[in-house]
Amino acid sequence: MLGLLLLWFSLSVACVLFVGVSVKVFFKYLFFIKIPADISHPKKLLLYYSMFELVATWGIILEKMKICSMAKFVRFVHDLFPLRKDPDVVVTDLCFGTVPVKLYQPRSSCSTLRPGILFYHGGGALLGSLKTHHSICLILCKESDSVVLSVGYRKMPEYKYPVMYIDCMAATVHFLKSLSTFGVDPARVVVCGDSMGGAAGVVMCQQLLKSPHLPKIRAQMVIYAGLHALDFRSPAYQQNKNQLGCRDFSMYCVMMYLNIDPSWKKDMITGANLPPEIREKYRKWLGHENIPERFKQRGYRPKPVAPLNDLAYQETRLVLEPTVCPLVAEDEVMSQMPEALIVGCEYDDFRDHSLLYKKRLEDLGVPVTWLYVEDGFHGALGMIDTTFFNFPCSRKIMNAMVDFIKRL
């Protein structure tokens, strides 16, 4: 009898806790998060973010209870959903050394070699996985008639900087040395990624310039990527602060990945962690004057930089590493970058990264195909194959990627 009472009590507490957390999360999103009017199906997006926040909140609770990390719980919940299958695409799970990868190949035979796409998934090196981006790679493979290799690099909280880039480079080099095995045209190898994965693709291009013996990367597809961690005062960060901004999450990921103590967050946001001479050096590339005026109309006000905190600089100086901030590579490196498709979304904290990268490449004569998604938001591509949470901007981005590959 006592056992039954304890079981009943435990279940009651669990139910009350679940309901309480759910109400709190949905209340927060219903009353404090603004969905931009220009986004299609705003109620769907609100529901999606509410559900994600609920899962993440439970992950945080489990992490505080020392049961498992928040990231592992979020990935576990996502992995409960079955992966989509397509009879026209052969999917193979492989390992390049210790790095797991998924290989996507069109089932139909082809008399010529196909384009090869190296895909690096987003998620802040914390949440993404081979499974979360499976549908993107499946659709990209089928519609562009390309061989796609998705790289499953190690992630936080167990693995921090520079593990992600070590794994990405290892898998990339292995693939480039094995193109004939996979039926890939060495003249049409493309790197691609979304968010932090997009930054990884840019870094791969820059680092591979040091390896002229390997096949040259033909093109890059950079999808709403975070390309630096030096300025959190730009127009997009301000405009999206109370909407669908991801600054808190992106800063959390950057600081955790670089082992920066959370107490330095304010200094990074205000710019107090960078000496004036460093800021001046990068101003020609990161200055807000490089962002077209039409992107400053929605509530942007220039903010002064806080006085230098030298301790903050010493504690956060890893943000200056080339593999963390590929946007500020020297002109000699940037001028050798391959042709690019760059996607920027209006309702995304990283929108200005895309604009600045576009300008840098164009100023140096690198061909750029630019897609500006007016109703787009961060993570939109990941909803390309969802039954209920589907948005026109997701298909718009995929169509641009497929068209870009076919033109190469």
Domain of residue 170, CATH code:
3.40.50.1820
* Residue 267 pLDDT > 50: yes
Pairing of strands 114-120, 147-151: parallel
Given this model, what pLDDT does residue 9 score? 42
Whole-angstrom distance, CA of residue 269 vs CA of residue 272: 8
Q: Helix H segments across 2-96?
A: 2-32, 42-64, 70-79
3-class SS of residue 141: helix
99/46 same-domain check? no
Read off the pLDDT band of 7 (50, 70, 90). Answer: very low
Q: What domain range is 46 assigned to?
A: 13-79
Read off the pLDDT band of 215 (50, 70, 90). Answer: very high
366 within domain boundaries: yes
Given this model, what pLDDT does residue 311 score? 96
* Residue 33 pLDDT > 80: no
Q: What is the mean pLDDT of residues 199-210?
A: 98
256 within domain boundaries: yes
67/144 same-domain check? no
Given this model, what pLDDT does residue 386 score? 79
* Residue 30 pLDDT > 80: no
5 within domain boundaries: no
Catalytic positions, please? Answer: 195, 348, 378
117/245 same-domain check? yes
97/171 same-domain check? yes
Whole-angstrom distance, CA of residue 22 vs CA of residue 210: 51
312 within domain boundaries: yes
Per the confidence metrics, is the pTM higher than 0.85?
Answer: yes
Last residue of a domain, one of 79, 104, 121: 79
CA angle 306, 312, 313 (to 5 degrees): 90
Given this model, what pLDDT does residue 79 score? 85
Of the listed ranges 94-98, 116-120, 303-307, the one predicted with least confidence? 303-307
Given this model, what pLDDT does residue 32 score? 63
Given this model, what pLDDT does residue 8 score? 47
Q: What is the mean pLDDT of residues 161-175?
A: 97
Q: What is the mean pLDDT of residues 248-262?
A: 90
323/370 same-domain check? yes
177 within domain boundaries: yes
45/156 same-domain check? no
234/145 same-domain check? yes
3 within domain boundaries: no
User: What is the secondary structure of 308-330 as a DSSP string?
Assistant: P-HHHHHHHGGGGSTTT-GGG--
Last residue of a domain, one of 79, 114, 132: 79
Reported as a single tens digit per residue, the pLDDT across 345-398 is 999 999 999 999 999 999 999 999 999 999 999 999 999 987 778 889 999 999
Residue 189 parent element (H or E): strand 184-194
CB 58 within 8 A of CB 73: yes
8 within domain boundaries: no
Last residue of a domain, one of 32, 57, 79: 79
62/120 same-domain check? no
Phi-psi category of residue 313: left, alpha or beta, with phi > 0 → left and psi -120 to 50 → alpha: alpha
The number of folded domains in the chain is 2
152 within domain boundaries: yes
25/42 same-domain check? yes
Whole-angstrom distance, CA of residue 125 vs CA of residue 146: 26
Reported as a single tens digit per residue, the pLDDT across 127-151 is 999 999 999 999 999 999 999 999 9
User: How is residue 199 written in tokens?
Assistant: 């930054």
CA distances from 70 to 158, 239, 255 (A): 12, 28, 16
Of the listed ranges 156-170, 229-243, 262-276, 346-360, the one predicted with least confidence? 229-243
272/343 same-domain check? yes
Whole-angstrom distance, CA of residue 24 vs CA of residue 9: 22
302/165 same-domain check? yes
Give the mean pLDDT of the chain.
Answer: 90
**What backbone torsions phi and psi does residue 287 show, to the nearest 5 degrees?**
-55, 140
Whole-angstrom distance, CA of residue 350 vs CA of residue 344: 8
The residue assigned the tokens 């890893």 is 318
Whole-angstrom distance, CA of residue 62 vs CA of residue 264: 26
218/242 same-domain check? yes
Of the listed ranges 49-63, 194-208, 299-313, 378-392, the one predicted with least confidence? 49-63
